[in-house]
Structure 1
Amino acid sequence: MAAERALLTITLNRPAERNSITADLLAELGAALDLAEHSPQCRMVVLRAEGDTFCSGMDLAGVAAADGTPAEQAERGGAEYFALLRRLTTIGRIVVSEVDGEVVGGGVGLVAASDLVHATARSRFSLPEALWGLLPCSVLPFLIRRVGFQQAYAMALSTLPVDAERAERCRLVDELADDPGPARRRLLFRASKLDPATVADLKSYLRRLWILDEGTERSAVDEFVRLMGSDQVRRRIAGFAAGQGLTGPRP
């Protein structure tokens, strides 16, 4: 995490684990957003990653080995993850995801909940959850808000990756460039002139124009808990974790 006056940069830095989502990561991201909110000078938060994978989503190995009942794990993890995505859409700072590489599962949620997304041409986005009997329960409300129903549905149903050019066409990506620096500097210049309260007000107003409320959150978490309660789903997750991800033809 690095702060430069009006800009706070958060770097996902577990490339060996493909920057997967763990309870520790969610807590660290929350602490970073606290820092941004408590800094009067901060106007923009950039989320980036080290390695070839921006974020691989849920830590499958951790889920397969975790203590506690499946329902307890799913309730806690699902609620914490959804709360983070919701916070990205409410915080009074501009949140930008700078993507360079693979974005999988819950990583797509981080991107979709960001205010703006800048990506390189080698970036790819996919929702593979259906392959092990799950659904991207918490991702879909934010993804539908960003790209529309059919595109989000197609990604979840097909599980096929979407390349950077297509992601830009469907507005999952706002700007495509090999170097995100110029776009970041242009945006930061404008962001530095905005009052954080104005940013928060805009986000709050737009949330009222879109169906994304406590009922949506409860529905997402409940469905995740139901699916994670299946022994078959957990066996398939353990199998994917042991195999270290997906294999298959690249489109």
Structure 2
Amino acid sequence: MPGEEAVSVEAGPGHLLVRLDREHNTLDNALVYGVLSALDTAEADPRCAALVIHARGPVFCSGMPLRADAELPAGWADDAAQPPPWHLFQRLTQAPVVTVAVVEGAASGGGVGLAAACDLVVAGAAARFRLTELLLGLVPAMALPFIARRTGPQVARRLALTCGEISQEEAVPIGLADFATGDPAPLLRRLLVSLRRLDRDAVGALKSYLRTAAPVPDGLASVARDLLVQRMQAPSVAERLRTLHQEGLLG
């Protein structure tokens, strides 16, 4: 709906709850910067141990916004800065608070990357994960490094090539989720109690150490941006996007 806020934020004991509030929760700048702002708030509060991302409706996050004219959102093709989704994913991996994604519906494309960038992923009974980019002639360049960090490179390759849907039951064994539950609320409450006991400086040190142990190559953000721009400019991609919009399959 026009004017609808992308995210809402609620403070709880020792945590910040970030709710994605729109119907499809596309990974546009409003959503990206809304979550980044919540991260800033969480990091500035020494009493905050965790930041939880969940969605209001049946779609956790549907990935990057796809327009009929194949135009990218502002700043995504900017040579002078990291693309906003990459910046968000990286911040989620670096924040000194524990980042938790609660996925109770569909996560597709960059939405899988959003969940995968979090330290912990809770999958509800209706959770579904799917990389759909290759069906459009695109490449999941922004999301894939953060997915591979969880699943390993070969599973990430399979997810990208098959474009298959991963259920809750499948997500945990391959590392895409850490917990599977019919009702995430009780599990989340217990998890947040446990996370409040942690030393936040130690959490930050652990996450810094893990980044050093398994670093993302320097310059990969620029490579991902350039590949996205290149694919979006391909005539076949533009034609597919126009067709999908005409058929009402893209918002």
Name the counterpart of 2:4: none
**Cα deviation per residue 1:57-100 (whole Å; 9 max; x = unaligned)?**
01113x7375xxx6976414971110100000000011111111
Pairwise CA RMSD: 2.1
Name the counterpart of 2:14: 6
Match among 101, 122, 131 for residue 126 of structure 2: 122
Read off the aligned partner of 1:107 and give its amino acid letter: G
Q: Are 2:76 and 2:84, in contact at CA under 8 Å, matched by a contact in 1?
A: no
Q: Are 1:112 and 1:172, in contact at CA under 8 Å, matched by a contact in 2?
A: yes
Name the counterpart of 1:49: 55
**Cα deviation per residue 1:186-244 (whole Å; 9 max; x = unaligned)?**
22222212222211111111011113143222221221122122232123223334434
Using the aligned pairs only, state the percent identity.
Answer: 37
Change (3 A) 1:23 1:184: same
Q: Are 2:129 and 2:167, in contact at CA under 8 Å, matched by a contact in 1?
A: yes
Tell me, which stretches of 5 or more residues in structure 1 are unaligned?
247-251
Change (3 A) 1:118 1:242: farther
Give distance in 1, aligned partners of 2:25 and 2:109. 12
Change (3 A) 1:241 1:20: farther
1:5 CA drift (Å): 3.0
Give distance in 2, aligned partners of 1:168 and 1:192. 24
Name the counterpart of 2:225: 221
Q: What is the 5 A alignment of 1:26-45?
A: 26-45=32-51
**Cα deviation per residue 1:143-163 (whole Å; 9 max; x = unaligned)?**
111011121111111111111
Give distance in 1, aligned partners of 2:43 and 2:73. 33
Name the one with the larger helix percent.
1
Query: What TM-score do you get using the length of structure 2 for normalisation?
Result: 0.89
Q: What is the 5 A alignment of 1:154-233?
A: 154-233=158-237
Name the counterpart of 1:108: 112
Name the counterpart of 2:64: 58
| Range with greater deviation from structure 2 (165-174 or 232-241) | 232-241
Tell me, which stretches of 5 or more residues in structure 2 are unaligned?
1-8
Query: What TM-score do you get using the length of structure 1 for normalisation?
Result: 0.89
| Range with greater deviation from structure 2 (219-228 or 105-114) | 219-228
